[in-house]
């Protein structure tokens, strides 16, 4: 059973400057809920009980968010505001959350190395702290189900337009079924002419503990960072890795266009806003 998850959340978020100059991009709110709370909720909904957040410089707001806020709780209790009181209490009790700080932002692979002691010799889930995937079955749950069958690492992938493959980690391999591939190649941000497919990593992984030795053996790659994709290529020499073509809409909040789309999507999904908000959008679009 997979009970532990790692959420890397230490990155600089340069694509979202200046908003991320003094606040973590993982705390950017989707209406009233910070992005990373959706990510933690997905982990919890997938049966994860223990979460390690990879934190770093300027990320204190994440720890404060998942901590209890006694003064606020007392105030809401006094006002008999049960709705907000319960909501605030729930955030502090969502899961057993631990933190470790990445000392230098040397890339996603480097961030995951910090989880070695915490995770030990167990397979674990990785959920990128800046990506929300809206799906009926939580994506991490989809991956855990495949892990239970094959007992090997599994990554979520999604099709991306061919002209955008150079923005993502891309897999190549053998198709086992509609939704499942056995990977034989992984490339980080490939040149469009060399991409083995248009199936891109989609921010969720189940990794076996073998990834830690692979990460230790990985030298800096693209952008002079330790790339998780490169470490997974080394892991592939020793273990099989599967890819699940994931159902669900993925939003990378670190990307401004995706952030805009997420707010609109979730605004339309929320019953209390949907009628007025839909009308507002329709009227607004007419004027452009």
Sequence-separated (6 or more) residues with CB below 8 Å from residue 154: 143, 146, 147, 205, 206, 241, 242, 243, 244
Task: State the binding string over 33-62 for ligand UTP (x if CB under 6 A, else -).
Answer: ---------------------x--------
Stretch of 6-14, 65-73, 166-174, 208-216 contacting ligand UTP, by CB under 6 A:
6-14
Using the rule CB under 6 A, is 9 a contact of ligand UTP?
A: yes
Cβ-based neighbour number of residue 205 at 10 Å: 24
Stretch of 125-133, 186-194, 214-222, 230-238 contacting ligand UTP, by CB under 6 A:
125-133
Sequence-separated (6 or more) residues with CB below 8 Å from residue 205: 125, 126, 143, 153, 154, 155, 156, 228
Question: Using the rule CB under 6 A, which residue among 107, 190, 221, 248 binds ligand UTP?
Answer: 107
Cβ–Cβ < 8 Å for 8, 101 = no
**Cα separation, 188 vs 219, whole angstroms:** 14
Minimal CA–CA distance to 8: which of 24, 19, 20, 22?
Answer: 24
Using the rule CB under 6 A, is 106 a contact of ligand UTP?
A: yes
Question: Using the rule CB under 6 A, which residue among 38, 181, 254, 262 binds ligand UTP?
Answer: 254
Question: Using the rule CB under 6 A, which residue among 2, 5, 10, 235 binds ligand UTP?
Answer: 10
**Cα separation, 102 vs 35, whole angstroms:** 20
Rounded to 5 degrees, φ, ψ at 170 are -125, 145
Task: State the binding string over 168-197 for ligand UTP (x if CB under 6 A, else -).
Answer: ------------------------------
Give the count of alpha carbons within 13 A of 246, CB side only: 32
Using the rule CB under 6 A, is 158 a contact of ligand UTP?
A: no
**Cα separation, 44 vs 140, whole angstroms:** 10
Stretch of 106-114, 186-194, 240-248, 277-285 contacting ligand UTP, by CB under 6 A:
106-114
Q: Count residues contacting ligand UTP (CB under 6 A)?
A: 21
- As beta bridge partners, residue 158 has 200
Using the rule CB under 6 A, is 15 a contact of ligand UTP?
A: yes
Question: Using the rule CB under 6 A, which residue among 123, 129, 169, 248 binds ligand UTP?
Answer: 129
In the complex, the residues that contact ligand UTP under the rule CB under 6 A are 8-15, 26, 54, 102, 105-108, 110-111, 128-130, 254
């Amino acid at each position: 059973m997979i009970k532990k998850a790692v959420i890397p959340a230490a990155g600089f978020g340069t694509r979202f400057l200046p908003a991320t100059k003094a606040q973590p991009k993982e705390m950017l709110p989707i209406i009233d809920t910070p992005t990373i709370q959706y990510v933690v909720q997905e982990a919890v909904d997938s049966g994860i009980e223990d979460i390690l957040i990879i934190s770093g410089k300027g990320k204190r707001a994440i720890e404060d968010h998942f901590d209890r806020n006694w003064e606020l709780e007392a105030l809401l209790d006094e006002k008999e505001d049960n709705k907000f009181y319960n909501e605030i209490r729930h955030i502090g009790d969502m899961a057993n959350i631990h933190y470790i700080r990445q000392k230098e932002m040397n890339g996603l692979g480097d961030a995951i190395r910090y989880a070695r002691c915490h995770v030990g010799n167990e397979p674990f889930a990785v959920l990128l702290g800046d990506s929300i995937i809206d799906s009926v079955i939580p994506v991490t749950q989809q991956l855990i189900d495949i892990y239970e069958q094959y007992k090997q690492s599994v990554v979520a992938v999604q099709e991306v337009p061919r002209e955008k493959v150079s923005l993502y980690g891309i897999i190549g391999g053998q198709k086992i079924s509609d939704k499942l591939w056995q990977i034989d190649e992984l490339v980080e941000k490939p040149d469009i002419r060399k991409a083995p497919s248009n199936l891109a990593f989609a921010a969720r992984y189940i990794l076996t503990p073998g990834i830690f030795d692979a990460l230790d053996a990985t030298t800096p790659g693209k952008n002079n960072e330790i790339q998780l994709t490169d470490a997974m290529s080394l892991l592939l020499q020793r273990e099989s890795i599967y890819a699940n073509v994931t159902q669900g809409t993925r939003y990378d909040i670190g990307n401004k266009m995706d952030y805009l789309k997420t707010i609109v999507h979730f605004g339309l999904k929320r019953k209390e806003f949907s009628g007025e908000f839909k009308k507002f959008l329709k009227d607004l679009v007419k004027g452009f």
